Structure 1
Amino acid sequence: MNDLPFGFSRPDPDDEGKGKPPEQGGGGDIPKMPFGFGPGALPGGMPGPGGAPFDFNQLGQMLSQLGQMFSQASSSTGPVNYDLAKQIALQQLAGTGGQGGEDRGAAVADAVRLAELWLDPATTLPAGSTNTAAWSARDWVEQTLPTWQRLCDPVAQRMSTAWVDAMPAEAKEAAGPLLSMLGQMGGMAFGSQLGGALAQLGSEVLTSTEVGLPLGKPGTAALLPANIERFTEGLERPASEVLVFLAAREAAHQRLFTHVPWLRQRLLATVEEFARGITVDTSALEQLASQVDPANPASIEEAMRSGMLEPQTTPEQQAALARLETLLALVEGWVDVVVADAVGDRLPGAEALRETLRRRRATGGPAEQTFATLVGLELRPRRLRAASALWRLVSDRHGIEVRDQIWEHPDLVPTAEDLDDPLEFADRLGAVHAALDDPIAEIARTEQRERAQREAEQRGDKATTDDNEDGSDSAGPGQPGQS
């Protein structure tokens, strides 16, 4: 039986000579050490294989971080360890820079103010941002984490309960307290994956609303100048032009999310509806048991990465995903049309930037793919171009006021079928608003239709009566009416 402490093992005979320099008969290869130990990380203050003295402060920091990780796991009560997710995301984003000083904040504020002036004649929705912010990637993680928690909790909770429900009763009874430990380790694994995905997204997003969801605080128009600078490289457009264009998109999103109160709730509720229908393939549990080492938390994380326990999509979830994709497309399509009308004649490169962002949103980046693997959702408006064409048609035929009034109630917004046939939707919308614009004429038309219907019924009744009278006159012997 192995009587060595956890995480240690006896040396492998095959490793003889490894880590020694060639002049001492070794191969010169340094084996990798767990938990961040590397060359020179030997106790006792003695020099390591690389010749560098060991720093006890590093050992204390590593042990302290390890203790914090396990204490966070024990104190976490939800399905996801968000403290760990935040810590990992911020650590991965360390060195990416802060907000960049007051100059960047002032540039963002000026760009948003100019964009708001240009947006005023392009939409009837008033300005929705009450303040502006220049975020770093780390700021984006901290400011949007509460919304991500609402998005991830239902998915993680359903996944966790699905695994436990799939276990046989004998296994549950035998596991006993280990089930809670498994839940904590699962929360850590999910938090670790979420932290990596948020760090990747935070290093890519350009505004707080770029993924199509209201992630930040209501009324805050936030841009990420450092990410925008990297995005601008290679576009052959002035940095100020790109900044104003993105500020217009952010301000248009804020107008929509602020003055359409049902929209924020509907988007987030659709994700929750998707989570409620998650089911897990129980046959994968046997394969999981053969691949997971309880003494190695990294094996659980690797199992999650493999997609072995990927949830099975049900028809109800497919319907929820279709509604989410349609709503995301309608939001992005409306913003696309409004911003084009607002800045089209003012920014020479507006059309090129518009097409670049369309392709960026349509294809998605590595970060969005990571999040899709983790949560099961792809936050991409697949039908962005169809939605933009529908909003453009409605604007040209009925004006921006009728177009923006569609957002007044969720039952009025176009459906996926309307995206397939925008002309039919525009015709139907015109008939509805014609009745609303002239109610007196609509009442007269209704009275005329009712009068014509009554006259038709009266003519039908009279014809029936005449037929009955003709039948009684020609009745033969023995029939009713014959004396």
Structure 2
Amino acid sequence: MSSDIPFGFNMPGGMPDPNDPKVKQMLAQLQQMMAASTSQSGPVNWDMARQLADNATRAEDPGVDGVARTKTNEALRLADLWLGPVTTLPSGITTTAAWSRMDWIANTVDTWKRLCDPVAQKMVASMGDLVPDDMRAMLGPMADLMKGLGSVMFGTQLGQALAGLATEVLTSTEIGLPLGPAGTAAILPANLTAYGEGHELPDDELRLYMALREAAHHRLYAHVPWLKAYVFGTVEAYASGIHIDPNAVEEAVGEIDPSRPETMQGLDLSEVLKPTDTPAQKAALARLETVLALIAGWVTHTVEQAAGDRLPSLPQLGELFQRRRAAGGPAEQTFATLVGLELRPKRLREATLLWKRLTEERGVDGRDAIWEHPDLLPDAEALADPEGYVSGQFDLGDIDMSFFEEGGGAAEGGSDSAGDDEGPDKKDA
């Protein structure tokens, strides 16, 4: 890349002259392309992202006919009924929906904005730093326009990613995050049909299985009040540690031909977004992997309980879904590109076993009570050894709390501390 040419733009003659007709034409094209960015307060040109995603999706979106809509709504309502006896968490569904691919884009873009803006802000700031202070006056309007280039780049990438993802996702919560509006349980019939044909699965059983998973996710996120903020906060904590490689940014910008905006579509942001691997980021990643595994495991276990022998293909359906998540489906790949994070529930099988064993030992009430506070959740060590974790638990309801309520001897004088230490052993819990 020539050091004489700022941003690596392939313009002969070295430093561009703002008065040159060709440069003026290029600036006019950049102005048009970035006009929307300058009017937005955030780091991403979301209008551009939405427009690109809609344009790319519209031609390949079969929509939703009346039959598919009816079957979807019926499956979601039935699934919610099946879940009632196997969990203490009430229904979290206020609306059922059969989404087209464009519906999915429209209903999830606000959540993607929350997830992507922290990383995009870093990239936009990094691109602004590429203009040396001593060159700003020389470049004039070009330097100002470059401030919006990062917004356009990220918006272009996001639009492409959402369009691709819209052809693959099956429900609003498939990746474990509530991407759609609260209380709206949604399935994408066109994508579900394509997925079923690829695996030779019965349409009605696949529809009910995914409806069960969707309805179970909504119960969790609707009635575990801290969960959504915890998951999103952990994602944001991880994203805040993303390192933007200035050299990679400069190289990526150097591939752009301002006279051909479509050259932005070939950029690979995964080469720009690099994890710093700091202790804080490692801790955030560990928390996120654990809670995603616990969510997916709880959903899988409760779905298996609710389905019982009603779905003959349940073993195959469960196995295929586990493989889809473990392999990193399109949703995880998109998330990795846009947020720099591999979003996949590691130890999903162990988490499913853990919830199953907790149900056997403590019952449904005792199992679901664990969601009452994040400090009660099993940690990564518990996922690594579900049997050991469950065998080490004891029921707090078996302890005579009146001793502590009355300010027992151990609290006042400490003379009974040895006896207190023996308590759990005597319980043989």
TM above 0.5, yes or no, is yes
> Which of 387, 397, 407 is 1:423 aligned to?
387
Alpha-carbon distance in 2 for matches of 1:219, 1:456: 50
> Which of 285, 288, 293 is 1:321 aligned to?
285
> Which of 182, 193, 199 is 2:157 aligned to?
193
Does the alignment pair 1:337 with 2:301?
Answer: yes
Does the alignment pair 1:454 with 2:415?
Answer: yes
**2:273 maps to what in 1?**
310
Alpha-carbon distance in 1 for matches of 2:250, 2:157: 23
Tell me if structure 2 keeps the 8 A contact 1:185–1:297.
Answer: no
Tell me if structure 2 keeps the 8 A contact 1:197–1:367.
Answer: no
Name the stretch that deviates more: 402-411 or 72-81: 72-81
Alpha-carbon distance in 2 for matches of 1:285, 1:185: 11
**1:250 maps to what in 2?**
214
Alpha-carbon distance in 1 for matches of 2:154, 2:303: 38
Opposite residue 68 of structure 2, the aligned amino acid is: R
Equivalent position SS for 1:246? helix
Tell me if structure 1 keeps the 8 A contact 2:292–2:345.
Answer: yes
Name the stretch that deviates more: 408-417 or 310-319: 310-319
Please give the TM-score of this superposition, normalised by the length of structure 2: 0.83
Alpha-carbon distance in 2 for matches of 1:393, 1:210: 24
Aligned residues: 399
Distance 1:68 1:108, change over 3 A: farther
Does the alignment pair 1:434 with 2:410?
Answer: no
Unaligned residue ranges in structure 1 (runs of 5+): 9-64, 458-483
Q: Which has the larger radius of gyration?
A: 1
Alpha-carbon distance in 2 for matches of 1:147, 1:440: 47
Alpha-carbon distance in 1 for matches of 2:356, 2:92: 22
Tell me if structure 2 keeps the 8 A contact 1:159–1:279.
Answer: no
Opposite residue 101 of structure 2, the aligned amino acid is: A
Deviation at 1:367, TM superposition (A): 5.2
Deviation at 1:382, TM superposition (A): 1.8
Name the stretch that deviates more: 70-79 or 288-297: 288-297
Deviation sequence 1:307-334 (CA, Å, 0-9, x none): 4433342312222122112111111110
Distance 1:348 1:175, change over 3 A: same
**1:352 maps to what in 2?**
316
Opposite residue 454 of structure 1, the aligned amino acid is: S
Deviation at 1:70, TM superposition (A): 4.5
Matches within 5 A, 1:26-45: none
> Which of 87, 105, 118 is 1:141 aligned to?
105
Deviation at 1:171, TM superposition (A): 5.0
Please give the TM-score of this superposition, normalised by the length of structure 1: 0.74
Please give the root-mean-square deviation of Cα atoms over the aligned residues, in Å: 3.3
**1:373 maps to what in 2?**
337
Distance 1:187 1:95, change over 3 A: same
**1:202 maps to what in 2?**
166
Identity over the aligned pairs, expressed in percent?
A: 46
Name the stretch that deviates more: 122-131 or 315-324: 315-324
Tell me if structure 1 keeps the 8 A contact 2:248–2:272.
Answer: yes
Matches within 5 A, 1:3-22: none
Matches within 5 A, 1:390-401: 390-401=354-365
Alpha-carbon distance in 2 for matches of 1:392, 1:69: 54
Alpha-carbon distance in 2 for matches of 1:455, 1:143: 60
Alpha-carbon distance in 2 for matches of 1:131, 1:282: 46
Name the stretch that deviates more: 96-105 or 225-234: 96-105
Alpha-carbon distance in 2 for matches of 1:356, 1:95: 29
Equivalent position SS for 1:430? coil
Opposite residue 74 of structure 2, the aligned amino acid is: D
Alpha-carbon distance in 2 for matches of 1:399, 1:372: 37
Name the stretch that deviates more: 237-246 or 401-410: 237-246
Distance 1:297 1:102, change over 3 A: closer
Alpha-carbon distance in 2 for matches of 1:199, 1:369: 13
Alpha-carbon distance in 2 for matches of 1:456, 1:74: 67
**2:39 maps to what in 1?**
75
Unaligned residue ranges in structure 2 (runs of 5+): 1-12, 419-429
Alpha-carbon distance in 1 for matches of 2:333, 2:71: 32
Distance 1:70 1:284, change over 3 A: closer
Alpha-carbon distance in 2 for matches of 1:431, 1:414: 15
Matches within 5 A, 1:97-176: 97=61, 99-165=63-129, 169-171=133-135
Equivalent position SS for 1:253? helix
Deviation sequence 1:218-273 (CA, Å, 0-9, x none): 11111111111111114333211111111111110110010011111111111221
Alpha-carbon distance in 2 for matches of 1:188, 1:456: 66
Alpha-carbon distance in 1 for matches of 2:228, 2:138: 45
Opposite residue 212 of structure 2, the aligned amino acid is: A
Alpha-carbon distance in 2 for matches of 1:383, 1:175: 53
Distance 1:136 1:67, change over 3 A: farther
Deviation at 1:297, TM superposition (A): 4.2
Alpha-carbon distance in 2 for matches of 1:296, 1:455: 80
Tell me if structure 2 keeps the 8 A contact 1:344–1:351.
Answer: no
**1:51 maps to what in 2?**
none
